[in-house]
């Protein structure tokens, strides 16, 4: 397996273990999961048993205590399954939702939930996005009002990954309506089954079909003060703290998808014959694919370097924003070209590239749209 200055032998062993799991457990079953609209819980439990859900977490709770580079390995290899919905189901749990608890939770909250999260016994979701407040957290309308030792939560959330079948939700709500912009937000720990909390509807998406996505509804949901995550009115800072990890992992997922798409396409064009030659014998085709390989290699180096900076505790907001913007756009260009070279077969539902094209489209939208990322870069230029 290809070596890199950014990865240790431990990372390479992890990569091989995940690749083996993907080949044995995911590839034979992914179509069924797409049809069902979810990844079975026993599969997620097995991933927990294998240690995939605790890569960056403390050994006190069953974690491996690796840096974000370990999560990059996880994201790349899960993405190579060609089932983006499966990959993001796991990655939201490991790197977009549960880090909120790990980073901001008190000792009681960590002891109560982290072992089950790492073991895959409780699957997590983070509920920030609303119908009118996606990348604009300041536009949040969900409210929580204090009532003695409880907070009463009302509102709705939209596009929540793991929203239908999750167990534990980290829900952002405005708790100080007089605060301007993104201030005055608090995060609450809400368990499935809490009175007043329901799934409004399961959402049908263009891609990521094996990922369950939901609208969540909160109607007078009473949350005890012990289940406030972090400080009251400081939730936006907690959300911001995990943005870099989340966007790095999404960039890694994008590059894993691009890598696999090129692998599939190279195999196809080297075997597909047209006009007496393989497609690979056509200079224009092999040069276009070679250029894409170079661009993906460049994207991976940007990703790895950014993750390495993060692992050292460096300020890397600019670099991570570059990763999210560049990789999210690049994977879509790769998919467009790869589908083109598959010809009519690439338009058929039986072709992995057809699914991968649909799955990749969200990469320039979710987790921080390209336009938002470019503004983050501009602020620091």
Query: Has 246 been annotated as catalytic?
Result: yes
Provide the 10 A C-beta neighbour count for residue 282. 15
How confident is the model at residue 133, as a pLDDT? 67
- Helix, coil or strand: residue 112: helix
**Residue-by-residue DSSP string for 39-94:** --HHHHHHHHHTTTT-TTS-GGGT-----HHHHHHHHHHHHTTS-HHHHHHHHIII
Q: 224 - beta bridge partners?
A: 150
Tens-digit pLDDT string for the chain (381 aa): 567 899 999 999 999 999 999 999 999 999 999 999 999 999 999 999 999 999 999 999 999 999 999 999 999 999 999 999 999 999 999 999 999 999 999 999 999 999 999 999 999 999 999 987 665 666 789 999 999 999 999 999 999 999 999 999 999 999 998 887 778 999 999 999 999 999 999 999 999 999 999 999 999 999 999 999 999 999 888 888 888 999 999 999 999 999 999 999 999 999 998 888 999 999 999 999 999 999 999 999 999 999 999 999 999 999 999 999 999 999 999 999 999 999 999 999 999 999 999 999 999 999 999 999 999 999 999
| pLDDT at 140 (0 to 100) | 86
Sign of the CA dihedral with 99 first, then 101, 104, and 110 last: negative
Choose among 134, 135, 157, 153: nearest CA to 143: 153
E strands within the chain?
Answer: 124-127, 143-147, 150-161, 168-174, 185-191, 197-202, 213-224, 228-229, 273-274, 277-278
pTM equals: 0.95
Asked if 219 contacts 156 with a C-beta cutoff of 8 angstroms, the reply is no
CA distances from 99 to 92, 177, 241 (A): 10, 26, 9
CA distances from 251 to 50, 81, 270, 367 (A): 24, 16, 29, 10
How many C-beta atoms lie closer than 10 Å to residue 346's C-beta? 20
Q: Which domains does the chain have, with CATH numbers?
A: 9-123 (1.10.540.10), 125-233 (2.40.110.10), 237-379 (1.20.140.10)
| Paired tokens of 42 | 């026993």
> By C-alpha distance, which of 293, 361, 282, 372 is closest to 328?
361
- Please give the angle made by the CA atoms of 150, 155 and 160, to the nearest 5 degrees: 110
What is the model's pLDDT at position 236?
A: 85
Q: Report the alpha-carbon distance of residue 228 to residue 196 in Å, rounded.
A: 17
Point out the catalytic residue in the list 34, 77, 130, 246: 246
Confidence at residue 358, expressed as pLDDT on a 0 to 100 scale: 98
């Amino acid at each position: 397996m290809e070596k890199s200055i950014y990865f240790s032998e431990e990372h390479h062993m992890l990569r091989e273990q995940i690749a083996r799991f993907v080949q044995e457990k995911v590839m034979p079953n992914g179509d069924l999961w797409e049809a069902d609209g979810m990844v079975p819980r026993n599969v997620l439990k097995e991933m927990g048993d294998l240690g995939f859900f605790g890569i960056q977490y403390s050994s006190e709770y069953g974690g491996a205590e690796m840096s974000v580079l370990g999560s990059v390995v996880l994201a790349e290899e899960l993405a190579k399954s060609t089932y983006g919905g499966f990959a993001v189901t796991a990655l939201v749990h490991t790197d977009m939702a549960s880090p909120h608890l790990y980073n901001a939770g008190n000792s009681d909250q960590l002891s109560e939930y982290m072992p089950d999260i790492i073991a895959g016994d409780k699957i997590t979701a983070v509920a920030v996005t609303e119908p009118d407040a996606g990348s604009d957290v300041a536009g949040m309308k969900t409210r929580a009002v204090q009532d003695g030792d409880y907070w009463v939560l009302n509102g709705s959330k939209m596009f929540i990954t793991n929203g239908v079948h999750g167990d534990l939700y980290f829900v952002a709500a405005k708790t100080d309506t007089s605060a301007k912009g993104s201030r005055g937000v608090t995060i609450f720990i809400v368990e499935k089954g809490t009175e007043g909390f329901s799934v409004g509807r399961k959402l049908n998406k263009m891609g990521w079909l094996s990922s369950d996505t939901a609208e969540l509804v909160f109607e007078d949901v009473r949350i005890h003060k012990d289940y406030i995550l972090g400080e009251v009115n400081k939730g936006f800072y907690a959300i911001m703290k995990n943005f870099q990890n989340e966007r790095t992992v999404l960039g890694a997922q994008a590059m894993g998808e691009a890598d696999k798409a090129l692998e599939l396409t190279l195999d196809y064009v080297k075997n597909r014959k047209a006009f007496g030659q393989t497609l690979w014998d056509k200079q224009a085709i092999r040069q276009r694919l070679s250029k894409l390989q170079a661009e993906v290699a460049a994207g991976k180096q940007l990703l790895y370097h950014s993750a390495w900076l993060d692992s050292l505790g460096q300020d890397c907001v600019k670099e991570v924003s570059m990763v999210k913007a560049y990789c999210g756009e690049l994977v879509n260009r790769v998919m467009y070209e790869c589908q083109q070279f598959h010809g009519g077969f690439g338009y058929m539902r039986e072709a992995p590239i057809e699914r991968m094209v649909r799955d990749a489209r969200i990469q320039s939208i979710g987790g921080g749209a390209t336009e938002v990322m470019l503004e983050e870069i501009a602020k620091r230029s």
